[in-house]
A and B are shown apart, each in its own frame.
Chain A
């Protein structure tokens, strides 16, 4: 059995728990043991903590990593933002003994130490590489015949220097394809959804980032957008609501890859509690049942 510590992050459990529900069901079905991380905190959110104080950023990350290390397993994240933080912090700590020493000096006061023995992966990588496409394919009993646009999320492209930035997006594409959907290319897959600029300039974020993506995707004739990042998900769902203030009306269902996988595994949509969404995902799920 494949065993990982599952880092849920903040946004999924507290804003879109249906993704957590779906993930737990998917992991169970494919034989992936996902251990909870007792006492974990925010990864932490890098825009503030990293810019403000690198030591604080590394120490909070190292504390989270040390919890997984204590469990004796590698760590996987569902959220792209957490992935970036924890992968980068892990890389810095492993490559810089002085930073590791400073961080452990602080953690020592609380009986903790991070030794740098674990790896961090995105759930997409774990499903694709560790579980395997064939194993997942076995579970797909209800292929979903809809047309979808993919939004990978910027941090999904993060790779070590010289790495193939499309490595993880291609995995996500492949996993999505397994669910039976038709993937529609709309040309703006790599454009940021606008989430990071939301606080600085709402109108720019909505009209210059989210809107072009929605427009191109809808013109391409999609039924839904498939995402893996909860922050992007919030931007896509709340952004459509906010765009109405500007007289722009979109109501595209936005579904997480884990939810789509769970549905294709035959999990009844009612069990996923899709009512946590702010876009018509339940309607989409009902429609898929009928197709």
Chain B
């Protein structure tokens, strides 16, 4: 077994279902996506399992609604990247500086440039920005918006939440009734089972994640 596959199997054994996705991108390049809550454990596993492990850096990508953190490591000529995606509503990055001291400065730089709050960092002070730098003006932070243009948001929200893009208000339902029609036609939202099935289909296609739909509130994560 080569180094790349061995590293993936090692992390899978140690983290189980906390490994969401893993792939050998090309020769000597491995990407492992883990749950954010498993990041520190993954780093500890790498440190304990690979005595010659070398920490390279952390990259951060602002996807609009989420931050993607990429922790890059060097293992015997192979670069292994631990990927975690965190919603921007949380706005936090779990520090690994106590496990890998070399991560200290890059984490502070990320906090400065993206406005992310560091958790459990030994010295969570500004590194490259001045102390009085305003919180709402971070150089690399993008606005909190998803892929949909403003005009399309209400339609997408209605489509996913009810399966119907016209307003399903009780006012119109009452008016339908008074006109001798059923309160609603046999729409998805008129029947619990159909609604459940429709939402399952939406989840199955990944449309909810793509547009940034929050199932708890039944709304898009952005206005």
Residues of chain A whose beta carbon lies under 8 Å from any beta carbon of chain B = 8, 10-11, 13-15, 17-18, 20-21, 36-42, 44-45, 47-49, 52-53, 55-56, 59-60, 63, 106-107, 109-110, 112, 199-200, 273, 276
Number of A-B contacts (CB under 8 A): 119
Residues of B within 8 A of A273 (CB): 179-180
Contact across chains for B167 and A14 when beta carbons are under 8 A apart: yes
**Which of under 10, 10 to 19, 20 to 34, or 35 or more describes the interface residues of B?**
35 or more
Q: Can you list 18 A-B pairs with a CB-CB distance of less than 8 A?
A: A11-B165, A14-B167, A17-B172, A38-B186, A40-B186, A41-B188, A42-B164, A45-B155, A47-B155, A48-B155, A48-B156, A48-B159, A49-B159, A52-B147, A53-B207, A56-B205, A60-B201, A112-B197
Residues of B within 8 A of A (CB): 147-148, 151-152, 155-156, 159, 163-168, 172, 175-176, 179-181, 184-188, 191, 193-194, 197-198, 200-202, 204-207, 210-211
Cβ of B200 to closest chain A Cβ, rounded Å: 5
Q: Lowest 9 CB-CB distances: which A-B pairs, in order?
A: A39-B194, A41-B163, A199-B151, A14-B166, A56-B205, A56-B207, A106-B204, A10-B166, A273-B179
When chains A and B are docked, how far (Å) is the Cα of A41 from the Cα of B152? 18
**For residue A10, which residues in chain B have a CB less than 8 angstroms away from its CB?**
164-166
Q: In the assembled complex, how far is the CB of residue A28 from the closest CB belonging to chain B, in whole angstroms?
A: 14
20 other A-B residue contacts (CB within 8 Å) besides A14-B166, A52-B147, A106-B204: A11-B166, A13-B176, A13-B181, A17-B179, A21-B180, A21-B181, A38-B186, A38-B191, A39-B198, A40-B188, A41-B159, A41-B187, A42-B164, A45-B165, A47-B155, A48-B148, A55-B205, A56-B207, A107-B201, A110-B201
Instruction: Compute how far the CA of A277 lies from the CA of B85 in the bound complex, rounded to whole angstroms.
Output: 48
Q: CB-CB < 8 A to A15: which residues of B?
A: 166-167, 172
Min CB gap B86→A, angstroms:
23
Contacts of B151 in A (CB 8 A): 199-200
B200 touches A39 (CB 8 A): no
- In the bound complex, residues from chain A placing their C-beta under 8 Å from that of B156 are 48-49, 52
Do B204 and A59 touch across chains, with their CB atoms under 8 A apart?
yes
Q: Which residues from chain B contact A44 at a C-beta distance below 8 Å? A: 159, 165
Query: Which partner residue on chain B sits nearest A45 by CB separation?
Result: B165
Contact of A41 among B164, B175, B204 (CB under 8 A): B164
Query: Within 8 Å CB of A14, what residues of B?
Result: 164, 166-168, 172, 184
Output the least CB separation between B133 and chain A (Å).
Answer: 36
Shortest Cβ distance from B50 into chain A, in angstroms?
38
**B188–A39 touching, CB < 8 Å:** yes
Residue of A with least CB distance to B210: A53
Q: How far is the CA of A273 from the CA of B174 in the complex (A)?
A: 13
Contacts of B210 in A (CB 8 A): 52-53, 56
Which residue of chain A has the shortest Cβ distance to B205 in the bound complex? A56
In the complex, what distance in Å separates the CA atom of A109 from the CA atom of B202? Answer: 12
Complex alpha-carbon distance, A40 and B201, angstroms: 13
**Alpha-carbon distance A104/B46, docked complex (angstroms):** 40
What's the nearest-Cβ distance from chain B to residue A53, in Å? Answer: 5
Instruction: Tell me whether A38 and B194 are in contact (CB under 8 A).
Output: yes
Q: How far is the CA of A8 from the CA of B155 in the complex (A)?
A: 18
By beta carbon, the residue of chain B nearest A107 is: B201
Interface contact A8-B211, CB-CB below 8 Å? no
Of A21, A47, A59, the contact of B205 (CB 8 Å cutoff): A59
- Smallest CB–CB gap between B203 and chain A, Å? 9
- A109 to B196 alpha-carbon distance, docked (Å): 12
Interface-centre pick from A13, A21, A40 (highest chain B CB count, 10 A): A13
By the criterion CB–CB under 8 Å, are B152 and A17 in contact?
A: no
8 Å CB contact of A37 from B155, B172, B186: B186
- Report chain A residues within 8 Å CB of B211: 52
A13→B168 CA distance, assembly (Å): 9
